[in-house]
Amino acid sequence: MFSFFLSRLISVLVVILGVITVVFLLIHLVPGDPVQAMLGETATPTDLEALRETLGLNQPLMTQWWLYITGLLQGDLGQSLYSKEPIIDILMARFPATLELATAGLFVAILIALPLGSIAALRKDSIYDNSAMIFSLLGVSIPNFWLGPMLILLFSLILGWFPVSGQDGLLSLVLPAITLGTALSAILARMVRATLLEVLNEDYIRTARAKGLRESAIVIHHALRNASLPIMTVLGLQLGTLLGGAVITEIIFAWPGIGQLTIESIQRRDYPVVQACILLISLSYVLVNTFTDLVYGWLDPRVRYSV
């Protein structure tokens, strides 16, 4: 168990270091002089030099990298060029909204996928199965930046059930959550179906049937429970899609989270904030995945012995 944790920990640290390095290098991809790009054409040479000094861009690359990493470790992400506030404060103000949206999206996805996938597996090749798979195909094919506006058109503008945009109570969360969760629910429903079909062929299900257990007990206690682990893993991996989708969903619904902050900062050429946003979302994704991985290893000994 210990060696499993240790090996996972080391590879995660390598990945985190790599992610930080890629994000650090992003600013050097700005075409031409990044400082000129950030301050615009009207900046004086003194201003340019001052910003170069603040961002450490006049130092050798390795020194800059080292300063970036040590700064991160102390929770220092620098200052926003636009609002002059410490970036860490801006992130902390915006992150809860993204977390709320992502959680709600995940909730919608599970709420749709679990019953849909289960029914499809239990009634394989029936009309339920076919409808569920058609839903799944449509769900993965519909872009969220089209689904969102269409939902707004129908449910906000025509029917008036939900607010058009903004974050204001539970009602305002419904449409963004559906927009974000639909694609994931489609992928997840397929996964639930496939895993459940596999599990239902196992010997212990036959044993449970032979014991005379009710079908509902077999499905809930034996089949779904064993199917939940692989489903969890897929869920962890798909969280990246969810977080990436959150950026677009936030723009559609003017949801004041990290995604909106990213796009705003790109438009303002506030690159340090862009870097920080990308870093925050990517690191959350890495950490959640590591956590799922470890829990999986803890719950299922087969996983940790195979490492």
Partner 1 sequence: MFKYQIVIPSLILIVWLLLAILGPWLPLNPNYITLVDILKPPSLLEWLGYDDLGRPVLDRLIMGAGTSFFVAFWVISLSLTIGTLIGTISGWAGGYIDLIIVRIMDIFLAFPGILLAIALSGILGPGIENVVFALSIVGWVGFARLTRAQTLSIKNREHVLAAIALGASVPRILYYHILPLLMAPLLIEATFGIAGVVVAEAGLSFLGLGVQPPAASWGNMIKDGTGYMLIAPHLVLFPGLALFLVVLSVNMLGDKLRDRLDVKS
Side-chain-side CA neighbours of 143 within 13 Å: the count stands at 5
Q: Counting Cβ atoms within 10 Å, is residue 173 exposed (0-12), middle (13-18) or buried (19+)? A: buried
Which region among 11-19, 42-50, 81-89, 119-127 touches partner 1 (by CB under 8 A)? 11-19
Q: Which of 157, 217, 220, 299 binds partner 1 (CB under 8 A)?
A: 157
- Residue carrying the six token digits 């682990």: 229
Which region among 69-77, 146-154, 214-222, 293-301 touches partner 1 (by CB under 8 A)? 146-154
The CA-atom distances, in angstroms, between 135 and each of 131, 132, 185 are 6, 5, 10
Asked if 276 and 91 touch (Cβ cutoff 8 Å), the reply is yes
Q: Which is nearer to partner 1, 198 or 213 (CB)?
A: 198
Tell whether residue 303 is a contact of partner 1 (CB under 8 A): no
Q: Which of 5, 7, 13, 18 binds partner 1 (CB under 8 A)?
A: 18
CA angle 76, 255, 237 (to 5 degrees): 70
Q: Which of 251, 255, 273, 297 binds partner 1 (CB under 8 A)?
A: 251
Q: Which of 8, 241, 295, 303 binds partner 1 (CB under 8 A)?
A: 241
User: Which tokens in the block code for residue 255?
Assistant: 């949801």
Question: What residues numbered 182-201 form the site for partner 1, per CB under 8 A?
Answer: none
The CA-atom distances, in angstroms, between 16 and each of 4, 7, 83 are 18, 14, 28
Tell whether residue 149 is a contact of partner 1 (CB under 8 A): yes
Tell whether residue 254 is a contact of partner 1 (CB under 8 A): no
Query: At 80, phi and psi to the nearest 5?
Result: -75, 135
CA angle 200, 215, 213 (to 5 degrees): 100
Q: Which of 271, 273, 297, 304 binds partner 1 (CB under 8 A)?
A: 271
Tell whether residue 26 is a contact of partner 1 (CB under 8 A): yes
Q: Which of 174, 244, 296, 300 binds partner 1 (CB under 8 A)?
A: 244
Query: At 88, phi and psi to the nearest 5?
Result: -60, -35
As a whole number of Å, the end-to-end CA separation of the chain is 10
Q: Which is nearer to partner 1, 167 or 275 (CB)?
A: 275
Q: Which of 263, 294, 295, 303 binds partner 1 (CB under 8 A)?
A: 263
Q: Which is nearer to partner 1, 13 or 299 (CB)?
A: 13
Tell whether residue 50 is a contact of partner 1 (CB under 8 A): no
Tell whether residue 10 is a contact of partner 1 (CB under 8 A): no
Q: Counting Cβ atoms within 10 Å, is residue 47 exposed (0-12), middle (13-18) or buried (19+)? A: middle
Asked if 98 and 259 touch (Cβ cutoff 8 Å), the reply is yes
Q: Which is nearer to partner 1, 117 or 245 (CB)?
A: 245
CB atoms within 10 A of CB 286: 16
Chain residues in the site for partner 1 (CB under 8 A) = 11, 14-16, 18-19, 21-23, 26-27, 29-31, 137-138, 140-143, 145-146, 149-150, 152-153, 157, 239-245, 247-248, 251-252, 262-263, 266-267, 271, 274-275, 278, 281-282, 285-286
